[in-house]
Structure formats: C-alpha cells, structure tokens
Chains A and B, each alone.
Chain A
C-alpha cells in the first residue's frame, strides 16, 4: 500500500467513517464518492457504530506477505449494527471460542507494516465482547 492510498483510506480505517447518500439514505462503508443507486455525489459523513456480530470466520495459517508473523490469526466477516458488512481480523480470542453470531466491537490496532515504503498501517480489528 502506497502513501497516497494510505492517506486516502485513513478515515475509514481509523474512525469507521463511511458515507450516507443524502437522497436515498443508503449507507456505505468505506467512504465512497458516489451513491451507486443515485449516481450522485451528494454524500454526507457517517460514522458507523463500532458494534456488530460475526457472520463467518476462519483461522488463517498461511498468510500473505506482511502478515506472516501474526499466524495463526482469526479473520472473518462482521456485520455492523447498521447492517453493513466488512472483513477484518478477529483478535484476542482462540478460534475454538468464536461462534457465528457472537457480538464484537471494532477496535483500533496496527494492521501491518507495508513492505515497500515502510508505512505503519493502522485500522480496525474485531474484539469479541460478552
């Protein structure tokens, strides 16, 4: 990931910031310029709630570059309370203790160090909550 790309996506990765179409009220995550339904750019800032639930997950044992030192790690699909879904790591838990439907809270963590430009890339990971 390059410097410009990192900068461009920071708000979504740091703050769970998305967009809401002012015309049709559709919610989007991550930030995007145009509503896919209205094809209009009248979008307003929307900060997603940090709570959600696990839709599906897996334990990754063979990781791509930049994630090798985290292996094994849990990764899955999370549905936020607003109904929008995202993919992310699920942390501080053993996969045997995770279940589909389990409530999680998005938390701010280091994702990885980019290999080419050395950027420390931060973002959200899901933390199971009781």
Chain B
C-alpha cells in the first residue's frame, strides 16, 4: 500500500465530559486536528467516524450526519463500527479511500460517549454488545469474563502471576501521569489492584478500563498532497486486519490472539521489517491481561513471557520496547471508538518530539494494535517516516 501521511491530530480530554454531547466531542477533536494540519476545512473530502455504541450509550445513530452538521462541513460522512476496534477500522478504511485515488485529504474521528448510564450493570451490558448477544451475553457472559478466562489460561499455561498482570496497570498509569489528556493521572500500586473489587476472577476493578468519554481525530493525506502541509510527515506504512471467531468458545487458543498474530505477521511482511524493528507500541489494554497477550501475539516478546517481560520493565518507558507510552486504554482512558485513533496520535507525537515527559529517542518504527470485543477483530498498523 502507498503510505499515507498524518498531517494533523486533535483530541479532547478523556474522562467524564458531562457537559459535552457526543457530536461536540467529535467536532472538538476534529477542529483541533484541522487547525494543527493547516488544511482548510473545505478541503476535507470525507469523514470516517469510528464509534462503537452511540445507539446503546446515548441513543443516537446517523452519527456521520450529526457530526458534519455541527462542523458545518458538507462532506460524505459515516460511522464505522467494529466494537473496540472501530477507530482503527475507520482509520484503515480512510487510508484505503486515499489509496483508491478518489480522495486526497480525509478526516478520521474516533469518538465515544459512555458516561451517561447510572448503573454499572448498564455499562457491563453495553460493553457485552461486542460479544455474541445470544450465545455469550445472554448466557451470562461479559467482556470481563472473556478476558478473565484468558488470564486464567495464561496463568496456568505459563505460570504468569497475578502480580505480573497487575504490573501492566502500574506501568500504564505511570505513563498516563505524563500525558496531559489522560483520564487517570494517578499512581496505582500492585497491592491496591489486588485488593480492588473482584469483577470476574481473577480480574479486579483496577484491571479494567473505566467508562470514559472522549474523541480523537486525524487528518490524513496522500504523500503528494501532504508535502504542502508538512515537509517531513509521519506516515502510516500499512494497516492490516486480523480475524478470529467472535465467540470465545470457538477460538483455537485462549492465550494467543490469533487475529492479532495474523495481522501483525502480514504488517511486518508488507513493510519488510520484523517485530524486532519496532521501537514503540500502543496496544489494546482494555484489561491488563490483554496487554500481555497482545505483546506476545505481536511478537514483541516471546510467547509465554509477556508477564515476566512486564515485571522486568521491558515494556516500561525506559525499557527495550516501550508499550503504551500514552498510558494506554488503561491510564489514558478508553472511550472505545476513540482508542484506535488516539493510539495513532501517540505515534504522531512521539515521532514529532511532542510527547513531553513521555518522549522516546531514536525511533524508527512504531506499531498500534486495536481490538474489537475479546479479540474477534484486530487491526495492526505500522508507522514511520
């Protein structure tokens, strides 16, 4: 695929944005991205909006039209849904629109408004819509129970410890404290995670992401057009899609994210690199255990050693392969449809030396990994110059 330039980024704060409606969040992120790109608003040919659950969370569909109306931008616009991977799939689809030759500059928005519910069971129910409604959710299953079973299987097969899993949250919250737009700028200790409320054994409240509002946006352009806005853009070199069966019980493995593995292998092959060439990664840590499975399935650490690598600091900000420098879904926040897009913003900021206290040095290749549901959909994207 021809590489696609990221010429502008924008993001709202992540958190409980009780004073902002979903379209206001989306437009806030979009306008910041447009301004940062220097592109005139009218030049944006289309908007691709990643959103998991506007209908469930705020009873609003026809989101594309709603956002372009508020933005006063009469361009084709529509919502793309793939549960937690919605934003990443929207970004990938936007890249294809440019590669098709039909468009030269497009906008990508990831947005979610999750904090309107008053009961935790409502949130659990909404999150469970990314599972098979009849044969998982309706049987009593939740998103948490899916990841809990992955955690149990990983602990049994590889002797991964509960403390190692908790260390994912410790690390990501430490990184989030260095990100001004984070939902949770707090320090979390292993003991407080292990003493928090049990959700689905062995996962506890602090292993989870919380309901969160937020929007992130990108302005993407073809390499030719990008030159007039940015002399040295950050490029999306490839974005690959990986499939696994939706239902956990239909998966061949509970400890390998086969969709993620598939997408990663094809992404590395396309760019002509290997996992060893990756200098930083943002992965879909919707639960702590998900990061351990992700870094293994992406090939960033050996299979079975994700827990130990996390414990040893391999994935820390000063480790050999920093993971979730933004704070991840865990610390930065997880407005689901926005997460895949905000990962790309972390890449943009790291490559352009805009990451402040989180800034890494000498980076050549970055990777983002987004998932829908318990891993039925995976998107792996690779960034570089």
Contact = CB atoms under 8 A, between A and B. Distances in A.
Interface of A: 1, 5, 9, 30, 55-65, 67-68, 70, 73, 75-78, 85-89, 95, 100, 111-112, 121, 123
Interface SS majority for chain A? strand
Given A9-B134, A75-B145, A60 B248 contact: no
Contact of A60 (B122, B200, B247): B200
Give the interface residue-count category, chain B.
Answer: 35 or more
B187 interface: no
A85 B148 CA distance: 18
Interface of B: 119-122, 124-125, 128, 133-142, 144-145, 148-149, 152-153, 156, 197-202, 247-250, 254
Interface SS majority for chain B? helix
A61 B197 contact: yes
A64 B128 contact: yes
What are the 5 tightest A-B residue pairs by CB atom distance, in nearest-first order? A58-B148, A85-B249, A64-B125, A59-B201, A56-B149
12 contacts: A56-B153, A58-B148, A59-B198, A60-B148, A62-B199, A64-B121, A65-B119, A70-B140, A75-B141, A86-B249, A89-B139, A112-B138
A11 to B, nearest CB: 13
A61 B121 contact: no
Given A58-B200, A64-B140, 5 more contacts: A9-B134, A61-B200, A62-B144, A75-B139, A77-B249
A87 B136 contact: yes
Given A87-B136, A111-B139, A100 B156 contact: yes
Contacts of B248: 77, 87
A1 B134 contact: yes
A54 B285 CA distance: 27
A59 to B, nearest CB: 4
Nearest to B134: A9
Contacts of A86: 135, 249
